[in-house]
Amino acid sequence: SQQGEEDPQALSIQEGENATMNCSYKTSINNLQWYRQNSGRGLVHLILIRSNEREKHSGRLRVTLDTSKKSSSLLITASRAADTASYFCATDYNAGNMLTFGGGTRLMVKP
């Protein structure tokens, strides 16, 4: 399976701190996406970074992509309790038709 791997598996921080999650993958990709899943809910798309991009921002989110190392990171700045969720990276090998998800990082932000 060409699955991405997230690191760490779990992360606990205080409100206001930054949270960084990493994702590694195995083969060349078209793009990499990050999704959030709140407990008992479906996944929600956060941000997409294409293989020819190195960094992308969306609000408090910052994503980097290093294709030479086959890795990506998601940074959430000034975290809030509402950011508590699981975060998944998904690698796109086939123009968006088949996403391969990693195991996720469970983030807990303590108020």
Partner 1 sequence: DAGVIQSPRHEVTEMGQEVTLRCKPISGHDYLFWYRQTMMRGLELLIYFNNNVPIDDSGMPEDRFSAKMPNASFSTLKIQPSEPRDSAVYFCASRRTSYNEQFFGPGTRLTVL
What is the binding site for partner 1 (CB under 8 A)?
A: 3, 31, 33, 35, 41-45, 48, 88, 92, 95-104
Q: State in angstroms the smallest separation of the CB of 85 from partner 1.
A: 13
> Which residue, among 55, 59, 85, has the nearest Cα to 73 in the 3D structure?
55
With respect to partner 1, which residue has the nearer C-beta, 72 or 100? 100
Residue type, 35: Y
With respect to partner 1, which residue has the nearer C-beta, 77 or 103? 103
With respect to partner 1, which residue has the nearer C-beta, 82 or 98? 98
Within 10 angstroms of residue 102's Cβ, the number of other Cβ atoms is 23
Q: State in angstroms the smallest separation of the CB of 3 from partner 1.
A: 8
Query: For tokens 């990493």, what's the residue?
Result: 22
Residue 72 to residue 23: CA distance in whole angstroms: 5
> Which residue, among 73, 48, 74, has the nearest Cα to 60 in the 3D structure?
74
Residue 32 to residue 81: CA distance in whole angstroms: 26
Q: State in angstroms the smallest separation of the CB of 16 from partner 1.
A: 29
With respect to partner 1, which residue has the nearer C-beta, 41 or 57? 41
